[in-house]
Amino acid sequence: MKNKKTVKIWATIAAIVIIAVLFFFFLRTRGSQTVIRNDADTSENSGLMPSSDTITSGKEITWQGKKYIYNEDIRNILFLGVDKKEEMQAQEYAGRGGQADCIILLSMNTREKTATMINISRDSMTDVDVYDMSGNFVGSERMQLALQYAYGDGEKRSCWLMKKAVAELLKDIPIHGYLALNIEGISVINDVLGGVEITIPEDYTSIDEAFVQGTTLTLTGDQAERYVRYRDIEILGSNNGRMERQNQYLHALVQLLKEKISEDSSTIDILFSAGKPFMTTDLTAEQMEKYADYTLNDSYIKVPGETQKGNKHDEYIVDEKKLQDVLIKMLYVPE
């Protein structure tokens, strides 16, 4: 197993998606015994959105008087963390598949063999396609981006709806694949690794009576899930404290995972097999093997904007001008 560049995890990154990304970068091909579900054929023909190659080809934009063209060396993979505690499977009715609480776009530069993460707030206000329980399209409404996932089947249809919504939010950029993971996967992965050790930085006994300030604990799977998941939705911006805990947990998780893999290279196979029931993807093992040699950049980019109090929940208002600047620098080249 090759050494990988240590991932620096900011507090804005959500735990369940990062675990999926870790799998992505440590995965090695398994030949005919692949554990990755390949939904590419059905999703490409589902009618939810056109082929990414069609979107990419010849895409030009003018910004601040200059012309730019999409960098054809860039491939974008969407990672979703779904707030649902059960194995991932298609639901008969819309609204039962959970919400995409974590949304990260991984931009892969195929020429430079590098990757950069773009973190997208689940509270980003955008146009969401609304469907009734039978799956019939009702119309579009402005609401939190995370809700788009709920209007699908909780599996590949939800992922494709999210691809469409994220692409539109990010100025119609192409998205070439997806990987989604349910929150139940955190407990499973934590326990397979033998538990992640952390020192509780402040009093979190309201979350778990064992979370006493200054105490060093090896978290059980259930404790790990509570530690990275809990927040008080009645408090504006409460997600910030949760992200700090996620940041701490993930630093410890990354270190433990690296240690386990150095001791036993089969660890990643064991982890991936354990996490398989809680994931869905349209990426093949061959695609993931190809991307596994890329270097992941140390820093993360967050879609710019600010949180404000809405009528019913927090609303993240994207700064369109700053977002365009970010996308130009990352995904485009001068014409």
Is residue 97 scored above 90 in pLDDT? no
Check residues 316 and 238 and name the one with the higher pLDDT.
316
Please give the average per-residue pLDDT across 296-308, as a whole number: 80
Is residue 137 scored above 80 in pLDDT? yes
Please give the average per-residue pLDDT across 253-262, as a whole number: 76
pLDDT tier for residue 271 given thresholds of 50, 70 and 90: confident
Measure the CA–CA gap between 10 and 243, rounded to whole angstroms: 8
For 199, residues 6+ apart whose C-beta sits below 8 A from its C-beta are 214, 215, 216, 217
Structure confidence at residue 299 (pLDDT): 66
Closest to 188 in 3D by CA, of 144, 225, 153, 233:
225
Buried b (16+ CB within 10 A) or exposed e, 227-244: bbbbbeeeeeeebebbbe
Measure the CA–CA gap between 284 and 178, rounded to whole angstroms: 11
Q: Are 323 and 304 in contact (CB under 8 A)?
A: yes
Q: For the CA atoms of the chain, what is the radius of gyration?
A: 19
Structure confidence at residue 238 (pLDDT): 66
Give 196-206 pLDDT, tens digit per residue. 999 999 888 98
Please give the average per-residue pLDDT across 82-91, as a whole number: 72
Is residue 165 scored above 90 in pLDDT? yes
Backbone angles phi, psi at 192, to 5 degrees: -60, -35
Check residues 285 and 77 and name the one with the higher pLDDT.
77
Measure the CA–CA gap between 100 and 234, rounded to whole angstroms: 20
Check residues 251 and 175 and name the one with the higher pLDDT.
175
The domain spans of the chain are: 15-191+276-334
For CA atoms 271, 273, 279, 283, give the dihedral sign. positive
The CATH topology of domain 15-191+276-334 is: Nucleotidyltransferase; domain 5 (3.30.420)
pLDDT tier for residue 241 given thresholds of 50, 70 and 90: low
Q: Which of 16-20, 81-85, 206-210, 236-240 has the lowest mean pLDDT?
A: 16-20
Structure confidence at residue 10 (pLDDT): 25
Structure confidence at residue 46 (pLDDT): 41
Check residues 33 and 285 and name the one with the higher pLDDT.
285
pLDDT tier for residue 90 given thresholds of 50, 70 and 90: low
Structure confidence at residue 17 (pLDDT): 52
Give 309-333 pLDDT, tens digit per residue. 888 888 999 999 999 999 999 999 9
Please give the average per-residue pLDDT across 218-222, as a whole number: 93
Is residue 143 scored above 90 in pLDDT? yes
Q: Which of 88-97, 192-201, 253-262 has the lowest mean pLDDT?
A: 88-97
Q: What is the pTM of this model?
A: 0.75
Measure the CA–CA gap between 10 and 301, rounded to whole angstroms: 10
Structure confidence at residue 8 (pLDDT): 28
Which range has the top average pLDDT, 9-23, 93-107, 114-128?
114-128
Give 51-60 pLDDT, tens digit per residue. 444 344 458 8
Q: Which token pair is 269?
A: 């196979």
Q: Are 254 and 6 in contact (CB under 8 A)?
A: yes
Is residue 11 scored above 50 in pLDDT? no
Q: Are 221 and 271 in contact (CB under 8 A)?
A: no
Q: Which of 50-54, 245-249, 274-278 has the lowest mean pLDDT?
A: 50-54
Is residue 15 scored above 50 in pLDDT? no
Structure confidence at residue 210 (pLDDT): 95
